[in-house]
Amino acid sequence: MRRIVIPILLFLLLVLEGVALDLLPASLVRHEWQLVPHWVLIFLTLKIMLFDKEDTNISVIHGLIFGLLIDVVYTGILGVYMFSYGIVVYLLYGLSRLLHANVYTTILLSVIGVAVADMVINILFSASGITDLIWGQYLLYRMLPTVLANVFFLLVLYPLLAKWLEKWKAERFSKSSAYF
Is residue 56 predicted with pLDDT exceeding 80?
no
pLDDT band at 180 (very low <50, low <70, confident <90, very high): very low
More confident residue, 178 or 20: 20
Q: Characterize 162-177 residue by residue with b for buried, 16 or more Cβ atoms within 10 angstroms of its Cβ, and e for exposed.
A: beebeebbeeeeeeee
pLDDT band at 179 (very low <50, low <70, confident <90, very high): very low
Q: Could you give the angle at the alpha carbon of 87 between the alpha carbons of 78 and 108, nearest 5°?
A: 125
Dump pLDDT digits (tens) for 16-25: 998 887 877 7
Is residue 32 predicted with pLDDT exceeding 90?
no
Distance CA 4, CA 172 (A): 13
Dump pLDDT digits (tens) for 93-131: 999 989 888 999 999 999 999 999 999 999 999 998 888
Is residue 31 predicted with pLDDT exceeding 80?
no
CA dihedral sign of residues 91, 93, 96, 102: positive
- Give residue limits of the domains in the chain: 37-161
- Nearest residue to 39 (alpha-carbon basis) of 4, 76, 69, 3: 69
The whole-chain average pLDDT of the chain stands at: 88
Q: What confidence score (pLDDT) does residue 38 get?
A: 96
Residue range 157-180: mean pLDDT, rounded: 74
Residue range 51-58: mean pLDDT, rounded: 79
pLDDT band at 2 (very low <50, low <70, confident <90, very high): low
More confident residue, 85 or 3: 85
Residue range 62-81: mean pLDDT, rounded: 94
Q: How many helices (H) and strands (E) does the chain have?
A: 8, 0
